[in-house]
């Protein structure tokens, strides 16, 4: 049975923040695909540890069929010659506690003699035992906060825009009479006879600032900009600009050039750690970018327009992309200088 909650007006910024934190974390996790995991390994848990903790430790537990697990924990023990901790401490309520030797004191990079391997989201996450190396936690936290604040600001601006004017009366009786008149008009009564006393003593004052509508539009555009900046931090071109409907091929190619920056380095770091896991435990675990999820992130709602009434037919090398979100908002394809310039180039 569907239970519909009661709408309470202005959004709770803490709840909105939690929603965006969860959503951004899930979206990043969708980009990473692990293959070859053993039966008792949880792929979603591993990705969550990598994204929010920065690292995860692979080790066997003898009391549980000597099964291989990937679990969160903390660095400890004596540091090696490069000042990197040599042990990883795992405290699990079911499996128990275990101190895992993950590095050699003399700095040897061989896996022989180790109890486990720490796989990091980045090289620094894998080797530095400091709070600042926590994967993408800080990035997701900061952008979730900006999205939540922007969303609540938009919610407040929408509610405030309802109040166009304020009615000022001399006394309560006059206020009650004026309110009755307004209720009749809002309920559809075509006319209302007023006394001269009400007309003389009732004052109407505008309360909405002249730029209220512009504020709402700016907040809507800011939402797309914040999302775009978040994905840019990960080296992903996100076409989320709702104000522009058309982008040309040169712009699209220039945006995707950033792709090789962060996502590839993250995948390479995870792969490097998994190679050591495979060498130590004889497994065949691999990692790769989920191409379908990546394509969705890069293109958003964009699609190639061929022969349609929305845009002229163009040669293959000059086809354009459209952001459907702009159409949803009633945006003008030439609503910005960039859009106008593109239209001229297409002509």
> In the chain, what's the furthest Cα-to-Cα distance?
98
What φ, ψ does residue 43 adopt, rounded to 5°? -60, -45
Q: Answer yes or no: is 256 within a domain.
A: no
The conformation of residue 171, written as its DSSP 8-state character, comes to S
Report whether 150 contacts 219 (CB < 8 A): yes
How far apart CA 280 and CA 1 sit, in angstroms, is 51
| Residue 21 placed within a domain | yes
Q: Is residue 27 part of a domain?
A: yes
Which residue is listed with tokens 């920065």? 54
* C-alpha span between 225 and 222 (Å, rounded): 5
Does a structural domain hold residue 132?
Answer: yes
Output the pLDDT for position 226.
93
Per the structure, the complete domain to which residue 277 belongs is given by 13-138+264-289
Considering the entire predicted model, what is its pTM? 0.72
Residue 54 lies in a domain: yes
User: Could you tell me if 65 and 47 are in contact, meaning their C-beta atoms sit under 8 angstroms apart?
Assistant: no
For the record, the structure tokens of 65 come out as 């069929």
In a domain, 275, yes or no: yes
Q: Give the model's pLDDT for residue 9.
A: 74
Domains: count for the chain: 1
Low pLDDT (below 70) residues in the chain: 129, 131-132, 207-212, 237-261, 297-347
CATH number at residue 133: 2.40.500.10
In a domain, 163, yes or no: no
**Helices H, strands E: what count in the chain?**
12, 13
Question: How much is the pLDDT for 253?
Answer: 45
Tell which residue, 269, 321, 304, 250, has the closest CA to residue 121: 269
145 lies in some domain: no
């Amino acid at each position: 049975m569907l239970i519909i909650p009661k709408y309470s007006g202005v959004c709770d910024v803490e709840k909105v923040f939690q929603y965006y934190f969860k959503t951004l974390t899930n979206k990043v996790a969708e980009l990473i695909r692990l293959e070859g995991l053993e039966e008792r390994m949880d792929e979603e848990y591993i990705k969550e540890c990598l994204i929010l903790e920065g690292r995860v430790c692979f080790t066997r537990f003898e009391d549980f069929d000597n099964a291989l697990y990937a679990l969160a924990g903390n660095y400890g023990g004596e540091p090696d010659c490069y000042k990197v901790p040599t042990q990883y401490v795992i405290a699990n309520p079911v499996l128990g506690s275990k101190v895992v030797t993950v590095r050699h004191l003399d700095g040897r990079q061989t896996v022989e003699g180790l109890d486990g391997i720490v796989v990091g989201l980045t090289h620094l996450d894998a080797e530095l035992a400091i709070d600042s190396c926590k994967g993408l936690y800080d990035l997701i936290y900061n952008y979730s906060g900006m999205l939540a604040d922007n969303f609540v600001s938009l919610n407040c601006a929408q509610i405030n825009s309802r109040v166009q004017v304020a009615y000022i009366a001399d006394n309560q009786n006059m206020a009650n009479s004026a309110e009755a008149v307004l209720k009749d008009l809002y309920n559809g009564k075509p006319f209302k006879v007023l006394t001269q006393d009400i007309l003389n003593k009732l004052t109407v004052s505008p309360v909405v600032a002249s730029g209220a509508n512009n504020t709402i539009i700016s907040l809507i555009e800011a939402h797309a900009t914040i999302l775009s900046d978040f994905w840019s931090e990960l080296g992903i071109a996100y076409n989320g600009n709702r104000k522009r409907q058309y982008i040309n091929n040169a712009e699209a190619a220039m945006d995707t050039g950033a792709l090789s920056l962060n996502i590839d380095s993250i995948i390479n770091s995870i792969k490097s750690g998994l190679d050591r896991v495979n060498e130590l435990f004889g497994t065949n675990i691999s990692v790769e970018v989920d191409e379908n999820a990546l394509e969705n992130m890069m293109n958003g709602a964009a699609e190639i327009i061929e022969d349609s009434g929305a845009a002229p037919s163009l040669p293959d090398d000059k086809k354009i992309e459209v952001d459907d979100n702009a159409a949803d908002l009633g945006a003008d394809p030439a609503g910005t200088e960039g859009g106008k310039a593109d239209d001229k180039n297409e002509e």
